[in-house]
Structure 1
Amino acid sequence: MIVAVVLRDVLAPALLLAAAWVMPSVVKPTVPFGVRVPEARVHDPLIVEQRRIYRWWVGAAGAAVVLAGLVVSVLVQQVLVPALVVVALLGVVAPGYVRARAVIRSAKQREDWYRGLRQTVSADTSRAVGPPFPWLWALPALTVLVATVVLGVVRYPDLPATLALHYDAAGVPDRTAAKSVGSAFTLVFVQAGITALFLGIAAVTPRFRPDLNPARPRSSAEQHRRFASSMTRVLLMFAACVNVSMLVASLQVWSGASAVSLVAIVGPVVLGAAGLLVFAVRAGQGGNRLATPGTEDEPRRDAVERDDDRFWKGGLLYVNRADRAVFVPKRFGIGWTLNFGNPVALGAFALLLAVVIAVPFVVR
C-alpha cells in the first residue's frame, strides 16, 4: 500500500520540488531570479550566495512538506492531499525566490551595475522560416489517440449499462452515469483536445522570439534554434505520455471495474514530466547550456543585454505594450510566457482560462 501511495501522491510533488531546486541552474545566468544582470556579474559572490541560500531553504523546507504529505496520504486517503502538498510547496518556493530576487535587485540598483555599459538588442532574422514540423515525433501521440478511438468504438456495444466517471483517492468509483457516447468518450474528447493543443504548441515553438546575447549573437542564436527544435520533440513525447495515461484511464472506465489503478493512470504522465525536467537541466533555458560547434571563432562584441527589468513584474510576468511579440522566453522557468501587454496575448490567455474553467463542467 505504501508503495502505491508513494507512486500516486508523492512523485508529482517530488518532481515539482526537484524542478524548483535546480531552476537557478537552468535559467540563463544573466537573469538570476528574474533580475537582468551584466554577464560580468554572473559569478558575483552575492548572486552565488543567494543561489546557495535559496537551495538550502527549498531543499530542507520542501523535503519536509513532501514527507509530511506522504505521512498524511498513508493515514488519510483523501484525493486532495497531493494538491494541498503542491500548494504548500509553492508556499515554500515563493518566499525563497522573492527574497533572493530582492537582494540581487537591491545590490544591482545600489551599485549601478549597468553604469558605462553598452546595452544592445540582437535579433535572429533567420527564424522567419522555421524548420519543418517533426511529424515522426508526433506519431506516437497520434497513434495512441487513434488506438483509443478504435478501441472505444469496438468496445462500445459491450460496455456496461452504467459507467464510472470519477474515482476517489482509493480508486473506487464515486460518480457514475448511464452509458452514452458522451459518457463513454468523455476522456477521448479531452485526449483529442490535449493532442491538438500540443501539436499546435509544437508547430509554433520554433518561431518564438529568442533572447539573444548581443556579445555572442551567432552562438546564442544557434543555441536557441537547437533548444526550440529539441523542446518541440520533448513536448510531443510528453503528449504521447499523457495520451497513454488517457488510454489507460479509458480502458479502466470501459471495463466496468469496481476499482481502478490510479498508479497506472498517473505513471506515464509522471514519466513524461521527469523527461521534461531532465531536458531542462541538460539544455538550460533557451539552450544556454547547449554546445554550439562551429561558433567557437565568433568574435566577442563589446555589448550587454538591455536592462529590461521594468517590463517584468516580479521577474515572472512580462508586460510591454510596445513589444509586438506574443510569447517571450521565461526568466524563471523553462520555455516561454505571454506578453501581457499585447492584446492578442491577453485574448489567448482569456480563451485558455475559459477552456480550463469549462472543461470540468463539460466532463461532469
Structure 2
Amino acid sequence: MNSADVSVNVLMPAVLAALAWWLPSLTGPTLPFGVRSPDARSDAPEIVEQRRRYRWRIAVSGSVLIAVGVLVSSVFRFDIPGAIPLLTIAACQAAYSRARVAVMAVKRREDWYGGLRQGVVADTALRSDPERFPWMWAVPALLICTGTAVLGVLRYPSLPDRVPVHFTGSGGADRFAARSISTAFFPVFAQAALTVLLLALTWLSFRARADLDPARPAESARRHRRFSVRTAISLLLLAAFTDLSLLAGAWGTWHPDQRVSPALVLLPVLAGLVVVIGIAVRTGQGGSRLPEQDGAVAEENTGMVRRDDDQYWRVLGSVYVNRADPALLVPKRFGIGWTVNLGNPRGVALLLGLTLVPALLPLLLH
C-alpha cells in the first residue's frame, strides 16, 4: 500500500470527518448550524435532534468513504488523487445543509426572536488596548524558509541540466524542466509566498472584529482575547509545518537521484492541521469553550440577545455580504476562524488575492 495513497485516501478523509463531527461543539451555542438563535434556544429539542442526526450522517458517510479509500489504495489501486477527500467534504456539506435547513424552518415557525431585545455591543478596549500579536511564534516558519533558501543556493551549482518538477505517488520524478532559478527555487518561492500569506491572514484575523455577547459583553471580550491569541499561534505553527513539507519537496527536486517518500511531504502538513484542530477543540469559536478566568468578577446578564443577522449570510450561512459593515473579516458562523465580508470592496480584493497568488505561482515553472 503506497504511503501517499494512504495519506490522501485514508488519513485526510479521517481528519476531515473527525473535524466535521466536532464542528457543532466548536461553534458557539447561539449559532446552531450557522443559524442565529437566542441563548434560551441553545438546548431546544429540535437543535439537539439535528446535532444527533448530523453526527450520525457524518459518522456513516465518513466510515464508508474511509473504507473506499482503503480499497482504492490497497486493492483496486485506482489513480484518483484527491477524489476521496473531495467526496468527504461534499458528504459533510450535505449533512450540514440538511441540519441547517431544519433548524431554520423551526426558527421561523416558532418565531424565536419575537419580543426579545436585540443588540450589538463593541469593546473599544480591543482596539485601544489590544493583545500583543504573538510574533515569536512566526520565527520557526521564517527560519525554515531561510534554511531552505540557503540549502538551495549551496545545491544550485551542482544541479543537473534538467531538474524534476513533478513526482508520482511513489515519489519518483515523472516530469523534468531545464535548470533555472525559477525551476530550482520554486519550493523556496512557494515557501515565501505561503508564509507571507499566512502571516498576513493571521494578523488580519487577529485584528478582526469580535462577535461579543450583549448579555455579558465583558466576559465574552475576555474570551475573545484568549481565543485570538491561541488561534494566531496555531496558524503560525501551521505555516511552519507546511514549510517543512515544502522543504521535503525541495529535497526531491535538488536530489533527483534520491527518492523522497511522499509521506515525508504530507505528514508535516497533516501534523500542522492536527495542531490547529486540537487548539480549536479546546477554545471553540470566539472562545466559546474556554472557562471563565479565575478571579474574574461575575457579570450580570443585561437581558439582551445578539442581533438576528441571518439576512447577511448567504449560501447556507457561509458567505457574509453586508455593505453597511466596514469589517474586512468576520467570525465564521459554523466552525473556527474568519471569513471575508464580500460587501466590503477590500474584502473582495483580499479574496481575489488569495485566489490569484496560488494560481499564478506555478507559472514560475514555465
Q: 1:40 — aligned with what?
A: 40
Q: 1:201 — aligned with what?
A: 201
Equivalent positions of 1:224-235 (< 5 A) are 224-235=224-235
Which stretch of the first structure deviates more once superposed, 349-358 or 306-315? 349-358
Alignment pair present for 1:341 and 2:354:
no
Which stretch of the first structure deviates more once superposed, 296-305 or 32-41? 296-305
Q: 2:85 — aligned with what?
A: 86
Given that 2:8 and 2:85 are in contact with CA atoms closer than 8 Å, whether structure 1 keeps it comes out as no
Q: 1:99 — aligned with what?
A: 98
Q: 1:213 — aligned with what?
A: 213
Q: 2:245 — aligned with what?
A: 245
Whole-angstrom distance in 1 between the partners of 2:248 and 2:359: 24
Whole-angstrom distance in 2 between the partners of 1:75 and 1:63: 17
CA RMSD of aligned residues (A): 1.6
Whole-angstrom distance in 1 between the partners of 2:8 and 2:102: 38
Aligned AA (2:123): D
The alignment's TM-score, normalised by the length of structure 1, stands at 0.95
Q: 1:317 — aligned with what?
A: 319
Gaps in structure 1 of 5+ consecutive residues: none
Given that 2:165 and 2:253 are in contact with CA atoms closer than 8 Å, whether structure 1 keeps it comes out as yes
Q: In the superposition, relative to structure 1, how do residues 245 and 226 fare at CA in structure 2: closer, same or farther (>3 Å)?
A: same
Q: 2:12 — aligned with what?
A: 12
Please identify runs of 4+ aligned residues in structure 1 that moved more than 4 A.
Answer: 76-79
Given that 2:252 and 2:258 are in contact with CA atoms closer than 8 Å, whether structure 1 keeps it comes out as no
Given that 1:8 and 1:262 are in contact with CA atoms closer than 8 Å, whether structure 2 keeps it comes out as no
Given that 1:223 and 1:292 are in contact with CA atoms closer than 8 Å, whether structure 2 keeps it comes out as yes
Equivalent positions of 1:121-160 (< 5 A) are 121-129=120-128, 130-160=130-160
Equivalent positions of 1:108-123 (< 5 A) are 108-123=107-122
Q: 2:305 — aligned with what?
A: 304
The alignment's TM-score, normalised by the length of structure 2, stands at 0.95
Whole-angstrom distance in 1 between the partners of 2:261 and 2:56: 36
Return the offset for 1:79: 5.4
Equivalent positions of 1:183-194 (< 5 A) are 183-194=183-194
Equivalent residue pairs, number: 363
Q: 2:332 — aligned with what?
A: 330
Whole-angstrom distance in 1 between the partners of 2:348 and 2:97: 25
SS class of match (1:337): strand
Identity of aligned residues (%): 43
Aligned AA (2:100): R
Aligned AA (1:95): A
Deviation track 1:235-287 (CA, whole Å, cap 9, x = no partner) reads: 11111101111111111211113632100011100000011111111110111
Whole-angstrom distance in 2 between the partners of 1:359 and 1:80: 24
Q: In the superposition, relative to structure 1, how do residues 54 and 88 fare at CA in structure 2: closer, same or farther (>3 Å)?
A: same
Q: 1:164 — aligned with what?
A: 164
Return the offset for 1:357: 2.4
Whole-angstrom distance in 2 between the partners of 1:79 and 1:204: 39
Q: 2:50 — aligned with what?
A: 50
